[in-house]
Amino acid sequence: MDSLSLYEISCFAAGFAGNLFAFALFLSPVPTFKRILKAKSTEQFDGLPYLLSLLNCFICLWYGLPWVSDGRLLVATVNGTGAAFQLAYISLFFIYADSRKTRLRMVGLLVLLVCAFALVAHASIAFFDQPTRQQFVGAVSMASLISMFASPLAVMGVVIRTECVEFMPFYLSLSTLLMSASFAAYGVLLRDLFIYLPNGLGVVLGATQLTLYAYYSRKWRCKDTSAPLLA
């Protein structure tokens, strides 16, 4: 009983820590939207990353719910919070979009996103029983997470080419590493491949970003930081 209690406490601690570090990631676009609010325009910013993040949160939220996976509530809470943030960002992006065409594009993509999630959710309930349902949704969520973790690779390429870390904020990279490490530990404790594998890749990515940051921040100081690329 003691070992079981310790196991449960360890799982909760790892998952809760992951939720806290993820919260810092969800707040990372705030400077972008402060700029949008001040300018009353989305300027050159693209809303697609927020839509893709929303789809990822929806799918991972679905994976964490009891009728798909038992004992994954902390996966559901972090992605439910993430979905709320993304919806807020998308709403602001829609309000301050520069043209009607941009708004229509955002609405079209949002409808497509909701349909894609609804298809995954319906298929998992209609065509799969446990444990196959968990495996199906887990595979989809893992693919979605890996694609999200891979997205900063382009920014890392920019850092290497320009030898400038202005495009890769330190605290964003640190939050990625800490969140991924926490959820990787959570997945290992639960023996859940669909959690620890993509987050293990996130640990590698976060560590690589911090290594690049340490190397290039010493080698080169950015001359112009007046207009950083905000994620």
| Nearest partner of 216 among 177, 173, 176, 178, judged by Cα | 173
- Single out the residue of 18, 69, 50 nearest to residue 198, CA to CA: 18
HEC readout, 125-172: HHCCCCCHHHHHHHHHHHHHHHHHHHCCHHHHHHHHHHCCHHHCCHHH
- Mean residue pLDDT of the chain comes to 86
Does pTM surpass 0.75?
Answer: yes
Quote the CA–CA distance of 212 and 206 in Å, as a whole number. Answer: 10
Interatomic CA distance for residues 187 and 78, integer angstroms: 14
How far is 176 from 21, CA to CA, in rounded Å?
8
Query: For the segment 72-115, what is each residue's pLDDT rounded down to a tens digit?
Result: 999 999 999 999 999 999 998 888 888 888 889 889 999 999 99
The closest of 135, 133, 115, 113 to 124, measured between CA atoms, is 133
Q: How far apart are CA 93 and CA 97, in angstroms?
A: 6
pLDDT digits (tens, 9 = 90+) for 2-54: 556 888 899 999 999 999 999 988 998 888 888 888 888 887 777 888 888 99
Spatial distance between the Cα atoms of 41 and 155, rounded to a whole number of angstroms: 24
